[in-house]
Structures are given as structure tokens and as C-alpha cells.
């Protein structure tokens, strides 16, 4: 079963994807993999702001891109493809993930600790949501191609 969140025609779309995913699990993983890579590129973009401190940071409360001082947070932003393992985390088929192993990644994302003055910057969640339509298209294209090849 695929772990996909949709906002329109949800029951119909989920039902169709699940039927195709059962028939073509490798195609599902291929489509989800494209989506994960797309979302990871977007998350890295969100972490690519100007360096330094000053007026820009004060006026960009909760916004993107997150200011960069060392690039450590962006450098450690990574992904796990369906059916793979990385950094001690394993994904089953039909699952993918964005991960950031920087010690302060959660503080930046949730706007806590020394990052509380900037507000929440949920760069991974926002990257997945903002690549949603293209991600669903990636999954559906891979499943359609697998169905066509099987006929």
C-alpha cells in the first residue's frame, strides 16, 4: 500500500493507486522515488539562503530560504528511496523519506531553542507538500507505464 496524501478526489485516487501498486510494486517505488528526489531538491533550496545576520533574517520570520552560515544543515539534508536504508533508517516498498541528520534540524523546522525567534520553517514538510502535484504525477506516470508495458 502506498503512503500518499491527496486533497482532491481522495478515495478514488487512493483506490486507483493502490490497485495499480499491488499489480506493479516496482513501478510504484520508481514513481515515489522520483517524488522523494524532487522533494529533497526543494528542501535543499529552502535551506539555501544568504549567510550572515541582520535585517534580512529579522524580516524573514518563518520564511524561506533559511539563512545559511555554514551549509551544514543543507549538506546533511538527504533522502531514503523506497525499499532502501540509510543512516540506520529503513523504508519498506511504497515508502520514502526526507531526513536531515544535523543536530539542530528539528529546532530549525519547529522554530524552537535558538531558532524560536524565526518561527517554524518546516522545510521537509513544505517540500513534500509543495511538490505534491508533480509527485502524484510521477507516481501515476510510472504506474501507467508499467500497466502499458504489461498489456
pLDDT tens track for 48-101:
876 545 444 445 556 777 777 788 899 999 999 999 998 788 888 888 999 998
Residues in the chain: 151
Contact between residue 79 and residue 42 where contact means Cβ atoms under 8 Å apart: no
The number of distinct structural domains making up the chain is 1
Domain assignment of residue 83, yes or no: yes
92-132 pLDDT, tens digit each? 888 899 999 899 999 888 888 888 877 888 889 999 989 98
Q: Are 31 and 23 in contact (CB under 8 A)?
A: no
Nearest to 42 by CA among 125, 143, 109, 118: 125
Residue 97 structural domain: 10-150
For residue 35, tell me if it sits in a domain.
yes
- Name the pTM for this structure: 0.79
The three-state secondary structure class of 89 is strand
Q: What is the pLDDT of residue 10?
A: 65
| 84 in a structural domain | yes
In a domain, 4, yes or no: no
* Residue 2 included in any domain: no
First to last CA, the chain: 23
5 within some domain: no
The answer to the question of residue 137 being in a domain is yes
Amino acid at each position: 500500500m502506498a503512503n500518499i496524501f491527496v486533497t482532491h478526489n481522495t478515495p478514488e485516487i487512493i483506490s486507483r493507486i493502490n490497485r495499480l501498486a499491488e499489480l506493479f510494486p516496482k513501478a510504484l517505488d520508481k514513481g515515489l522515488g522520483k517524488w522523494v528526489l524532487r522533494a529533497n531538491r526543494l528542501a535543499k533550496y529552502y535551506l539555501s539562503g544568504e549567510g550572515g545576520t541582520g535585517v534580512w533574517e529579522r524580516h524573514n520570520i518563518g520564511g524561506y530560504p533559511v539563512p545559511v552560515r555554514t551549509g551544514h544543515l543543507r549538506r546533511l539534508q538527504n533522502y531514503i528511496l523506497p525499499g532502501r536504508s540509510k543512516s540506520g533508517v529503513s523504508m519498506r516498498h511504497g515508502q520514502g523519506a526526507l531526513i536531515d541528520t544535523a543536530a539542530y534540524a528539528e529546532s530549525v523546522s519547529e522554530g524552537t531553542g535558538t531558532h524560536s525567534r524565526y518561527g517554524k520553517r518546516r522545510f521537509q514538510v513544505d517540500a513534500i507538500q509543495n511538490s505534491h502535484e508533480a509527485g502524484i504525477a510521477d507516481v501515476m506516470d510510472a504506474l501507467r507505464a508499467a500497466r502499458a508495458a504489461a498489456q
